[in-house]
Amino acid sequence: MKPIDSIRERLSAVPEAVRQRTDTSSAHSRLLADARAVIPDLPRTADSGHLVRAARRLVRRAAQDEFAREGVTQVRLPEERGRIELRRADVPGEASFHAFVEDLLLALDFAPSPLERDDAMELRRAPTSSDQYGLSPEVAADLASFLLGKAFELDPEEQDLDAFFAERAELLRDDVRGTLVRQVRVPLELKVALDRHELIENGKGPAAGFEGPDVEGFASPRGGPGDEDATEEERRSFAQRAQAAFDFAQSEAGRTAFGMLRTGAEKAYWKYGQGEGRGPTPKGPPKR
């Protein structure tokens, strides 16, 4: 085969390879954008493991919130709440504690989520989804399921969705049990829960560090989600345009397009006037 024919074959294969990488990159960016709409603090380089851990943190926090909301009044607690007294009281062995844990676990339903990104954002910011304590357990489970679905899609080694959810759901339920046991065994954690309950029930607001979910910091001072005067349609349109621009810029096709624009601009510079009046003229065009 002539060298020129070999080069032509390699060049003809480039567009397909670029297209495949672009599709993979765009899908990854879209999935991360969906997850970051619910958990804005997720890193832009997050992988499946990041999303699973975010779901676990979300559910553990919901368990703490529910214990402060209702658990402190439903579970029998000792009068003295030092470390030794709590160990002797063995609160995790109490029937009232078992009943509270099982009721909470029944509220946590982890299953493949039908939610789209805008549905998840609306669910999180809905007034019925949270109070001064934080998200309700049901909403936390829905959002955790949304994140687990995205984690499954991000992991190329996972093939069985039902098995993936069954394994992670059991992990999340174990997290809830462990979190609640710590609430009644660690003096500081129990004190914080009791203080939160007293402050909120007395109308003094949540304790510092427990102000509930932040759903306002999604961006743009004008026309974006942070603009109080913007309509929902304007906010949605702004977010969609911004995300589409970001996804394209990060994709292989976007980088190729910007490279072509830069090359075209340089050629135009050397063909038309060579930048008269803009300072010293370079010795020649950059070599490509």
Instruction: Measure the CA–CA gap between 264 and 266, rounded to whole angstroms.
Output: 5
Q: Does residue 135 carry a pLDDT above 60?
A: yes
Over 70: is that where the pLDDT of 246 sits?
Answer: no
CA dist., res. 30 & res. 14, Å (int): 24
Instruction: Tell whether the torsion through CA atoms of 50, 51, 55 and 56 is positive or negative.
Output: negative
Distance CA 134, CA 175 (A): 18
When mean pLDDT is compared across 55-69, 124-138, 273-287, the lowest value belongs to 273-287
Bridge partners of 135? 130
| pLDDT attached to residue 204 | 80
Give residue 203's pLDDT: 85
- Closest among 132, 134, 125 to 205, alpha carbons compared: 132
pLDDT at position 137 is 96
Calculate what percentage of the chain has a pLDDT beyond 70.
Answer: 62
Rounded to whole angstroms, the Cα distance separating 54 from 48 reads: 10
CB–CB of 117/146 below 8 Å?
no
The mean pLDDT value for 77-89 works out to 92
Amino acid at 203: G
pLDDT digits (tens, 9 = 90+) for 170-228: 999 999 999 999 999 999 999 999 999 999 999 886 655 555 444 333 333 334 444 44
Q: Which residues of 257-270 are buried (b: 16+ CB within 10 A; e: fewer)?
A: eeeeeeeeeeeeee
Read off the pLDDT of each residue in 26-54 and give the average, rounded to a whole number. Answer: 90
Please give the mean pLDDT across all residues of the chain.
Answer: 78
- Band the pLDDT of 250: cuts 50, 70, 90: low
pTM over 0.75: no
Q: Which residue has the higher pLDDT, 165 or 206?
A: 165
- What residues does 130 pair with on adjacent strands? 135
Q: Residue 44's closest CA among 240, 246, 220?
A: 246
